[in-house]
Amino acid sequence: MLERIKTVVIILLTLSLFLLLFVSFSLSTASYPLKPSDMVFELFGRAGKDGANDDDGDTRSASAFPCQIAVSNENGVYMPQNPSQYDEAYQFVSLYVEEAVGSASDLNECGADEYKEALKRGGILFVYDRPLPFGLFYAWYNGGVFDGDLSLISLYVCDGGDRVNLYLRDPDGRFFRFSTESGADALRSVCGAFTPNGVFTFDMPGAVSDRYSPLPKTAAAAPSFLLLPPAYERGAELSRDILEDFSINFYLISVYNDENSVVYVEGQNTLRLYDDGRMVYTGGFLADESLASREKPSVSDILSAVYPRISSLWQKTSSGGSVLSLASAEKEPDGRTVFTFDACIGGCTVEREYAACTVVTDGSQIIGLSLYPLRFAFYESVNFLPYAQASAAAAPGSFLRLQYVPDGSGFLIPRMRCVEGGAK
């Protein structure tokens, strides 16, 4: 009798667990902005998001290379239209883009017609604000060295039959195709789960903007924000953990006021905190211990070491919801490398007078760093100029991008901006 009672209890507990899981997935699916087609995709996506939270996933996040995202299938194109949709979309598609870039081989130049036909077959398209070197992407995702000088303004992962093809478009309007080791079945499944809300420009007669960029068919709204004073203005005491991120020993610092800044000094390290919250560091500390043993670390190696450090600083001094995004990476004649980063909200660049962050490295050491934190609070959702209307006013050879612009009254407002494909 006792054994039967135990069996019944176990069965009831098991059924209750499945019921709770069913309710949880049903609720998340009902509220999910991308409208996945079934619960299997919800389970798959949840695993993808969990996997993106590990250390390696955080380092290789979309914030490093912000882009316009479009997911196409036989029914049309899906484009995120607010920051939360952008973040959700990236979590689902990023693994396929990384896998395709990481296994890219057999580079061939192709024509615009082939690229256009590939766009119709369905896939994942990333369009960037500025040209970026493909070698940086390749090393970032693969760890290898790309043999060639190729930059890109858009990157497209698409159905190539059994395998996925990777297409690049460069700032000069040329198109390139890579073969990959990535299977196409999973890509088709993911792309088919998105509900289209737009079309490609070449399907819209009369559009004069970049004809290879997608356009939603309807107007949309995005959040605007109220800009807040910096968390650490002049006279505020920097926290110990922030000083530690700059490798400044809290117990050995001396602090004094300069004309327009508070100065923290410890040994060869100097950190200035300006009235507007900007932090400027000079000195020298290791970006990452693993770089110390490398005689000539690559730009990608240095970026992989620098990015987590500056992201930590950004998160401690800026509002949640904003991230740092790579704007440029340049090797100087003296061997130093200079990285600049923009502030980014949901893949949309924030245009400001100063770069959000500038980092100067010498080998494995960070010798200079300027950080301009951004703090804001949600204000209200506002309508922005519809893509179709904005495209009619755009200059030929350019594409449209949703970006955040300070309006001079203390607000960040979403605006459709015209970005030249070849402009740096």
Q: Band of the pLDDT at 179, cuts 50, 70, 90? A: very high
Segment 223-253, tens digit of pLDDT: 999 999 887 765 567 888 888 888 888 888 8
Question: What are the beta bridge partners of residue 383?
Answer: 221
List, for residues 138-158, the tens digit of each pLDDT value: 887 777 778 778 889 899 999
Q: Residue 240 domain-assigned? A: yes
Residue at 326 is within a domain:
yes
Query: Once rounded to an integer, what is the mean pLDDT over residues 300-324?
Result: 86
Name the one residue in this structure whose structure tokens are 């882009």: 67
Check whether residue 74 and residue 184 sit in a common domain: yes
Give residue 238's domain range: 230-374
| 398 domain residue, yes or no | no
Q: Which pLDDT band holds residue 16 (cuts at 50, 70, 90)?
A: low
Of the given ranges (17-31, 238-252, 261-275, 329-343), which has the lowest mean pLDDT?
17-31
Contact 365, 285 (CB under 8 A): yes
> In terms of domains, do 239 and 125 share one?
no
Indicate whether 423 belongs to any domain.
Answer: no
User: For residue range 190-208, what is the model confidence (pLDDT) as tens digits?
Assistant: 898 899 988 888 877 766 6
Name the residue among 79, 83, 88 with its Cα closest to residue 198: 79
Q: Are residues 84 and 159 in the same domain?
A: yes
234 and 370 inside one domain? yes
Q: Is residue 120 part of a domain?
A: yes
Task: Report d(CA 301, CA 409) in Å as an integer.
Answer: 41
Q: What is d(CA 278, CA 355) in angstroms, rounded to the nearest whole number? A: 11
Total domains in the fold of the chain: 2
Q: What does the pLDDT read at residue 120?
A: 87
pTM score, whole prediction: 0.72
Q: What is the pLDDT of residue 421?
A: 56
Name residues whose C-beta falls within 8 Å of residue 16's C-beta, 6 or more positions apart in sequence: none
| Per-residue tokens: 216 | 């939603």
417 sits in which H/E element = strand 411-420
pLDDT at 52: 34
Are 183 and 309 in a shared domain? no
